[in-house]
Amino acid sequence: MPSHSELINADAVTLVGLLQREEVTPHDLLDALEARIAAADGPVNALPTLCFDRARAHADRLMRLPVSERGPLAGLPVPIKDLIAVEGVRTTQGSPIYADHIPTRSDIMVQRLEANGGIVYAKSNTPEFGAGANTFNEVFGATRNPWNLARSAAGSSGGAAAALASGTAWLAHGSDTGGSLRNPASFCGIVGMRPSIGRVACNPAAKIDRTLGVQGPMARNVEDLALLLDAMIGEHPADPRSLPAPARPFRETMKAQPKLRRVAYSATLGITPVDPEVARVTRAAAERLAGQGVIVEDAHPDLAEAHECFHVLRAFDFCMTKAALLRTKRDLLKPEVIWNIEEGLKLTMADMERAEAQRVALSARMLAFFDKYDLLLTPATIVAAFPVEQRYLAECAGQKFDNYIEWLAIAYAITLACCPALSLPCGFTAEGLPVGLQVVAPPRGEARVLAGAKLLEDLLGLKTSVPIEPRAQVERQSKRA
């Protein structure tokens, strides 16, 4: 049997093959993870809640089934972001209000993952209620970036991304409203995908047709990510937004996509500043496609309304889901959550009418843009990882932001356009910090995103950059080459 170190460094697709051939068991993988968490997670704080007894009981049940009935994940362990309920496991949402909450029933997304052979062994850290792109909370503290423990892992799926980068996960669940899968993936040098609305079913909360937030997969490489996406998708009667699973898995259809002909690159989408080094690294990655005969042009659709539109719709969403907590638990909420809810309470019907109309128009322009371009490429995040003590990015390239979410515009504009998008590791800063390239396709275009990202991943040669040992300070990229 492979050693713990060999298992930790293996990719998820390889491990599923070993599980299906019964060359390793789910217990072997859980043992390797438990040892790795004990060795590496202390300074990172990616997985503050562990449930290995539950995981081993699930593994025992799974192994009583024939191999052919153990699902596409075949017993591969997966951590769940601490916003989502797992039966019998402490689920805090990063909030003191729910610090001792233990759900009696799992979210339908977790149920599907477990039915498809995933084994839940941990909850990954998140900011309170997922608010903010830096993972810290009053229950568990901050998650630190394994590439440099003095830096942020971003958020709100920061625990998941840091676990993947530090070798305490092979696959991970995350969620994304304004970049919460894509920002941590960029900061931590892993792959994170926001799927189309309805692709992953989950329990409705407060409003049955919420469309800003989605659940999605995170992994160390593109094919592993497709493996997890296939295990997450499918319709469910409890989620009326949910889509049927496609006839063929995305791991197959991504390999059958037509050759790319023309892609657009934009450093700013016309709506945000960007760190010059991040712009340089992402542009160089996009231009690698030219060597494959792909036309690469500077272009983006008109997204001018994105700031106003997202501000209103996000505030409304927070108001719908958290206003009751503001009335009864205000003293336990962090300032950013209070601000979000209060912004929602100020909204008028005219504000909502305008924001919804803006989203319709913005989405239509994005869809027309894809009549000409196969993909849109941008930075996934406008900076590399900033100091972990910094609650959010206040300015970039000399421009100050009006609020704590405006620096996420390059991600939330894509959310508003209803597009699937993926953050792919594409290079490093001079300081040795990862940089992510955002790969965007039209709605329901997951296979196209995956195919384009896999081509770029092969060209860039960064597939094996993680897992790494958590680092107190970053080595210069020149020493890593």
326 Cβ partners below 8 Å, 6+ apart? 333, 338, 341, 342
Considering 180, 242, 266, 423, which one is annotated as catalytic?
A: 180
Query: What whole-number distance in Å separates Cα of residue 279 and Cα of residue 458?
Result: 21
Q: Is 465 a catalytic residue?
A: no
Q: CA distances (Å), 150 to each of 130, 287, 388, 398, in order?
A: 21, 32, 6, 23
Query: Taking a C-beta distance cutoff of 8 angstroms, is the pair 147, 434 a contact?
Result: yes
Q: Are strands 119-124 and 434-440 parallel, antiparallel or unpaired?
A: unpaired
Residue 242: φ, ψ to 5°: -70, 145
Token pair for residue 69?
Answer: 């009935």
Is 329 annotated as catalytic? no
In sequence order, what are the residues at sequence separation of 6 or more whose Cβ sits closer than 8 angstroms to the Cβ of residue 445?
196, 370, 419, 420
Phi, psi of 395 (to 5 degrees): -155, 160
Give yes or no: 166 in active site: no
**What is the largest distance, in Å, between two alpha-carbon atoms of the chain?**
64
Strands (E), 346-396: 375-379, 395-396
Number of H helices, E strands in the chain: 16, 17
For CA atoms 185, 191, 195, 200, the dihedral sign is negative
CA distance 457 to 344: 40
CB 90 within 8 A of CB 44: no
> Which candidate in 106, 124, 156, 465 is catalytic?
156
The catalytic site residues sit at: 81, 156, 180
